[in-house]
Copies of this chain bind each other. A is one copy, B any other.
Amino acid sequence: MIEERHTTLDSVFHALSDRTRRAMLRSLAAGEHNIGELAAPHRMSFAAASKHVKVLEKAGLVRRRVEGRAHVCRLEPQPLCTADEWLRFYERFWPERLGLLDELLRAEDQGAASRHKRGRSKD
């Protein structure tokens, strides 16, 4: 099960290491799409794009449902959450990025929430 988690992280991070696949996930964040729609924005053959989707699928990031002749894909966010959990271990190393949360929780525990600035970035 720990083993499982490692192979999961392997495949998830690998899936994320390609720009095309990251873009596909972004598309899927906006809603379901079939393979053709996912492939369209990328300058490559349909077959190549289809392979990318398969990589995402194997990483558990995408679920596919066949609907007539179309394969409709939907985002499966759980593995991203797992990856984020792994990353967040290092949270304490990047200054103020989200050390914020712990600060807030601590302050809250003491019944006295202090004031903080917020600056979040978008993509």
Contacts and interface: CB of A to CB of B under 8 A. Distances in A.
Given A101-B101, A115-B108, A87 B89 contact: no
**Count of this chain's copies in the oligomeric assembly:** 2
A100 B98 CA distance: 12
A115 B105 CA distance: 9
A86 interface: yes
B80 A84 contact: no
A4 interface: no
The dominant DSSP class at the A interface is: helix
Interface residues of A, number: 46
Contacts of A37: none
B93 A29 contact: yes
A98 B97 contact: no
A41 interface: no
Contact of A104 (B25, B26, B77, B108): B108
A121 interface: yes
Interface of A: 6, 9-14, 16-19, 22, 25-26, 29, 75, 77-78, 80-81, 83-91, 93-94, 97-98, 100-101, 104-105, 108, 113, 115-116, 118, 120-123
